[in-house]
Amino acid sequence: MPDCTFYTTAIDYTNAAPHIGHAYEKVLTDVLTRFERLRARPVFFLTGVDQHGQKVQQSAEKEGLSPQEFADRCTVQFIELWKKLGIHYDGWAATTHPIHKRVVQKILQRLHDEGQLYKQAHRGFYSVRQEQFLTDKERNEAGEFGPEWGQVVELEEENWYFKLSKHRDWLLNHIDTHDRFVIPAFRKSELRNAVEKLSGDLCISRPKSRLNWGIELPFDTEYVTYVWFDALINYISFAGYFSEGGENLPRFESLWPAAAHVIGKDILIPAHGIYWTIMLHGMGFPDLQIPSFLVHGWWNIGGAKISKSLGNTVDPNVLVERYGAAALRYYLMADIVTGKDSDFSEERLRGRYNDELANNVGNLLNRTLNMSARYKGSVLRNIAVDHELLHSLAVTEFPQAVAAYFAAMGDYQVDAALRAVIGLARFCNQVIESIAPWKLAKDTAQSDLLDAVLYHLAESIRVVAILLEPVLPDAARGIFRQLQINSEPQLADAVWGVLLDGHILGAPTPLFPRLEAPAEVG
RNA sequence: GGGCCUGUAGCUCAAUGGUUAGAGCAGGGGACUCAUAAUCCCUUGGUUGGGGGUUCGAAUCCCUCCAGGCCUACCA
């Protein structure tokens, strides 16, 4: 078993600028990773870019660049965005990297040596314009290939194939016997249906005469590797598989199998659920070494899916500039149920941020620190006072919120985890209204109760900060600074009673300034 | 055509076959003054898409129809 939790994301295709869906997947994985770090468990987060393939080659040609130049230029956009969003990854998978090429070629060579690959001629209809073979799927209702394909010729071409179908029954059994193989469960049944229909093998090559932007087959240099076969291997090539040492890669045995490949619903079938899983099995990985998939949904816009042709793409860079990384991260985690689709709305982004972070959490911190400074000189006293509501906060609400948070995070339900945290903060605001510390401050006989209220609030806020850390790492540290806690947030401290008697709180500064709608443009 | 999924308050979502289907936001009314015009309380709002069935009991299980999404295909 691995001793380090390994999360990966899909690697993004360097053919277009990142959109909100790319950002969501990386933030989600970043949050899962930070959660592991927060509880002091070793974790490795791998993400990257998929740079080979026909579309990159074509786009590069259009702009008069080499494929590498084009891919590099696109790659920078992703790296810059991850920096802005605070995505803290441990490994970067770029498929044009020599390490990756070497591993892909070693795998291919071995599969070839073991007789798992074969060469076969394929005769079919080929679109010269689109540079691809057409199947019956591409025929229109009249049974013809439409004008969008340009000149269509019938030709014969030899290619290399991976014996996929002989693993079909194994895969069905694996699906049936491994509950967490695909999360959420309904995606698993979709995959199962697809596998049952599986027939035929996987073409893993492209002749160089058609496409040369790829990894050369080591045993047949007239061909390059099909882009999916190449790309999927990033999950192991950058995790140290077949490492020769000295490459600054992690130790493969400590990572594998991945706790979750975080992917979108569009690439479960067939790419990951069938191709990748069978590739691993073909390479000799036993059942226990087969990774799991966490399949997330899509952000729609106005009910329609994001597409360049509809022109409804949302540039995450614009959102970060407009609202900040924290607001975007929070919204992307809070307003979608992991696995399902959601509708993107800037109004909801502002609404949830203002209500839940600014008005609820931020203001709770602010009013608590203010009252402490005003009434108690910012000195926290841990005094035992018998008070029903405070008792219920410390003994019931607090542990329940922490437990709900853990349960939700364990199921990748970040939205539910956040609800638990916000609920705790909300309860604290209710406690304040109910006890009204400003009234206690006018009566010296109530001094101990006033101290107790402030202590309970500070403790709750401290843990709210810890629990928010995976989603809002900077804000969590901001809360710690205002509370004048010098340690780093960690889940081991998400228990009651850590702040000491006599602890001095800091001065309040609005932590989540309210967001306004951008001014209407023209 | 087939398969999978979804349908719960205006919106986003809860509710493991078990009290009178809940929460947040939005809407309405009020209170408070520590605070980021924040907060708190009360409140409006439901034929759980329709219909039928199983059950002592159904949002939940079964059938059917409707609406939507995704996948896939002339062999279910």
> What are the boundaries of each domain within chain A?
346-493
Distance between CA A263 and CA A502 in Å, rounded?
49
Nearest residue to A12 via CA among A366, A266, A385: A266
Using only C-alpha atoms, chain A has a radius of gyration, in whole angstroms, of: 27
pLDDT tens column, A484-506: 999 999 999 999 999 999 999 99
Q: What whole-number distance in Å separates Cα of residue A250 and Cα of residue A248? A: 7
- Residue A151 binned pLDDT confidence (cut-offs 50, 70, 90): confident
Q: At what angle do helices A54-62 and A67-84 cross, to 10 degrees?
A: 100
Residue in A137, A138, A120 with CA at minimum distance from that of residue A129: A138
Closest residue to B37 (CA to C1') is A359
CA of A429 to C1' of B29 (A): 21
What count of other Cβ atoms lies within 10 Å of the Cβ of residue A436?
A: 10
Band of pLDDT at residue A209, cut at 50, 70 and 90: confident
Average pLDDT rounded to a whole number, residues A427-454: 95
Nearest Cα to Cα of residue A182 among A277, A40, A99: A277
CB A99 within 8 Å of CB A246: no
Distance in Å, residue A508 CA to nucleotide B36 C1': 11
pTM here?
Answer: 0.94
Provide ipTM, 2 decimals: 0.89
Q: The tokens of A103 are what?
A: 């591993």
Q: Which amino acid is residue A427, in one-letter code? A: F
Supply the pLDDT for residue A141: 55
Mean pLDDT to the nearest integer, A82-89: 97
Does residue A397 lie within 7 Å of nucleic acid chain B, judged by its CB?
A: no
* pLDDT at A180 > cutoff 60: yes
**CA of A433 and C1' of B41: distance in angstroms?**
10
Beta carbons of A387 and A452 less than 8 angstroms apart: yes
pLDDT number for residue A278: 93
Could you report the per-residue pLDDT of A21-61, keeping only the tens digit for each?
A: 899 999 999 999 999 999 999 999 999 999 888 888 888 98
User: What's the Å distance between residue A503 CA and nucleotide B58 C1'?
Assistant: 55
| DSSP letters spanning A203-238 | E-EEETTT--SSPEETTEEEEEE-HHHHHHTHHHHT
How confident is the model at residue A144, as a pLDDT? 67
How many angstroms separate the CA atoms of A110 and A177, rounded?
Answer: 29
Q: Give the span between the Cα atoms of A77 and A94, in whole angstroms.
A: 14
Given a cut of 60, whether residue A248 has pLDDT beyond it is yes
The pLDDT value given to residue A130? 62
What is the DSSP-derived secondary structure letter of residue A147? G
Query: What is the model's pLDDT at position A522?
Result: 36
* Range A124-140 average pLDDT: 68
Residue A233 has pLDDT above 50, yes or no: yes
CA pair distance A325, A321, nearest whole angstrom: 8
Q: Hey, what CATH topology would domain A346-493 get?
A: Isoleucyl-tRNA Synthetase; Domain 1 (1.10.730)
Instruction: Point out the nucleotide closest to A362 (alpha carbon to C1′).
Output: B36
Classify A132 as helix, strand or coil. Answer: strand
Sort strands A220-225 and A205-207 into parallel, antiparallel or unpaired. Answer: antiparallel
Rounded to 5°, the CA angle A68-A73-A77 comes to 140
pLDDT, residue A136, reads 64
**Among residues of chain A, what percentage have pLDDT more than 90?**
66
A182 DSSP β-pair partners: A293
Q: Give the nucleotide with minimal C1' distance to the Cα of A269.
A: B71
pLDDT confidence bin for A340, thresholds 50/70/90: confident
**Chain A window 80-109, residues with Cβ within 7 A of nucleic strand B:** none
Instruction: Work out if A189's Cβ lies within 7 angstroms of strand B.
Output: yes
Instruction: Return the bridge partners of A117, or none.
Output: A162
Q: Are A316 and A306 in contact (CB under 8 A)?
A: no
Residue A100: pLDDT over 90? yes
**Which pLDDT score, from 0 to 100, does residue A382 have?**
95
Mean of all residue pLDDT scores within chain A: 90
Q: Is the CB of A340 under 7 A from strand B?
A: yes
**Residues 436-465 on chain A lying near strand B, CB distance under 7 A:** 436-438
Residue A117: burial class (beta carbons within 10 Å; 0-12, 13-18, 19+):
buried
In the predicted structure, residue A447 carries a pLDDT above the cut 90: yes
Here the tokens at position A152 are: 């269509």
- How many residues belong to chain A? 522
A480/A14: higher pLDDT: A480
DSSP string covering A245-302: SSS-PPPHHHHPSPSEEEEEGGGIIIIIIIIIHHHHHHHT--GGG---EEEE--EEET
Contact A281, A175 (CB under 8 A): no
* H or E stretch covering A46: strand A43-50
The answer to which of A60-74, A121-135, A237-251 has the lowest mean pLDDT is A121-135
pLDDT at A521 over 50: no
Distance A469 CA to B30 C1' (A): 37
The gap between A28 CA and B40 C1' (Å) is 34
Q: How many CB atoms lie within 10 A of CB A419?
A: 17
Residue A457 pLDDT greater than 80, yes or no: yes
Q: Work out if A371's Cβ lies within 7 angstroms of strand B.
A: yes
Distance CA A331 to C1' B29 in A: 31
Residue A326 predicted with pLDDT over 90: yes
What is A457-501 written as a DSSP string? HHHHHHHHHHHHTTT-HHHHHHHHHHHT--SPP-GGG-SS--SPT
Please give the residue that has the higher pLDDT: either A146 or A90.
Answer: A90
| pLDDT digits 0-9 by tens, A381-419 | 999 899 999 999 999 999 999 999 998 998 898 998 999
Span A152-181, average pLDDT: 87
Mean pLDDT of A141-154: 68
The nucleotide whose C1' lies nearest the CA of A513 is: B36
